[in-house]
Homo-oligomer: A and B are copies of this chain.
Amino acid sequence: MSADELVADLRGGSVVDEPGTAGPAVRRARAWLTRALEPGSVPAWRFVERVGPVEAVAALRAGTAPPRVQAVAGARVAEDASLDDLRRAERCGARLVVPEDDEWPTSALHCLTVASSALPDDHRLDRTLTPVPPLGLWVRGDGALADVVDRSVALVGSRAATAYGEHVTGELAHGLGERGWTTVSGGAFGIDAAAHRGALAAGAPTVAVLACGVDRAYPASHSALFSRLLDGGLLVSEWPPGCAPLRHRFLVRNRLIAALTRGTVVVEAAARSGALATAHRARDLGRALMVVPGPVTSAMSVGCHELLRDEERGARLVTTAAQVVEQVGSLGADLAAPPARPASPRDELSDVARRVLDACPVRTGVSPERLAAVAGCDVLDVLRVLPALELADLVQWTGTGWRLHPPPKTGTGASR
């Protein structure tokens, strides 16, 4: 092990990062780590934080990492698929986003850092429930990850959804999209698929957080849905390309859905369903937990009603996208922003301007009259605030109507 080519490459790699993006050595080290260290281990994440990704790889390869961290990796320390993984990602239009990148969702994932800091270093029991941040995120799609998930809501629920559940989910996702909010879900059958489709119908970005590699379509029949989703949206995974959707990975993945969004809406859930786990986690992370009720005669709403009956969970009943936005909007204002986060231009806006901004669609421009109707204010108010919003690069005139200004594109230097 004295002449480890991987470690030599990493240590000899570029130490000068391009502005806003990690250097190739850091990215490759983290690519290796995402395959060697199954997500969810507190000591592993802490070790990488302490020594940095390159030295973490070196220690694991040399067998000198702390025993608990070495144990998480096991025999995988001897393998190296890091370059293959990065190339494979590039081939499918994906990249590895790392904490050293500007597009890393630092603000959103801060809650996982806080929650995991309370855990003892030897915490290994029930790893699937551990609120530890990811070591890196494989991302497929054009948008900058932090921007796309900045104003996002998770819609989750049963795979065996009813027509009612899918209808309501579609309406919510569509309404959220119209208000400039990103819908995040898990890409599965049922509620997940209805959420992604509803957002797409509104021309709004939607994010599927997967429990397998972003190059895989799982379930296979969602291959076309995922392709459509990539037009403005993202596929995100903690696991490198090619990884299989193992059963326990869905639970690990759920903490990411909860953390990346400002709140989670459970639309349909049977008693003891997986969606309830995401719901509980959202609440544990201080996120808004919202629940859509349904007929009490429907088994698919039993879990929803149980959440609403559990007063300690503080779940809020919601029936419309406007109610969801009200909930996550106010909560966002109450949360202290983590130090790294730059002030948003939104903060400077008047109440009317913010409502007009929230009313702007993502893709298709609309008339001031339409904005006034959605924002619930006078069209004269809309005409008064639009010039300032345009000057601040928050809205854009398409030639036929007003829409949100697209977020800055990234992807440069994101792979390799």
Where the two chains meet, the residues of A that have a C-beta atom closer than 8 Å to any C-beta of B are 164, 167-168, 292-297, 301-302, 305, 308-309, 316-320, 323
Q: How far is the CA of A308 from the CA of B323 in the complex (A)?
A: 13
Which B-chain residue is minimally distant from A314 (CB atoms)? Answer: B311
Residues of B within 8 A of A317 (CB): 293, 305, 308-309, 317
Most buried by B among A297, A301, A302, A319: A319
Which B-chain residue is minimally distant from A168 (CB atoms)? Answer: B296
Q: How far is the CA of A247 from the CA of B302 in the complex (A)?
A: 39
Additional 7 contacts, C-beta under 8 A, given A293-B294, A309-B323: A164-B295, A168-B297, A292-B296, A293-B296, A293-B317, A294-B295, A309-B318
User: Main secondary structure on chain A at its contact with chain B?
Assistant: mixed
Q: How far is the CA of A217 from the CA of B167 in the complex (A)?
A: 43
Residues of B within 8 A of A167 (CB): 297
Which B-chain residue is minimally distant from A327 (CB atoms)? Answer: B309
Q: Can you list 5 pairs linking A and B with CB atoms under 8 Å apart?
A: A294-B294, A296-B320, A305-B319, A309-B318, A317-B317
Which B-chain residue is minimally distant from A315 (CB atoms)? Answer: B317
Pick from B164, B294, B308, B320: contact of A308, CB below 8 A: B308
Q: How far is the CA of A308 from the CA of B317 in the complex (A)?
A: 7
Pick from B164, B297, B302, B316: contact of A297, CB below 8 A: B164
- Verify B305–A293 contact, CB threshold 8 A: yes
Residues of B within 8 A of A297 (CB): 164, 167-168
Minimum distance in angstroms from A294 CB to a CB of chain B: 6
Which B-chain residue is minimally distant from A307 (CB atoms)? Answer: B317
Residues of B within 8 A of A309 (CB): 316-318, 323
Pick from B295, B305, B318: contact of A295, CB below 8 A: B295
Q: How far is the CA of A294 from the CA of B293 in the complex (A)?
A: 6
Most buried by B among A164, A292, A295, A296: A296
The 7 closest A-B pairs by CB, nearest first: A293-B293, A296-B319, A308-B317, A305-B319, A309-B317, A295-B295, A168-B296
Q: How far is the CA of A317 from the CA of B302 in the complex (A)?
A: 12
Residues of B within 8 A of A323 (CB): 309
Most buried by B among A168, A293, A294, A323: A293
Which B-chain residue is minimally distant from A294 (CB atoms)? Answer: B295
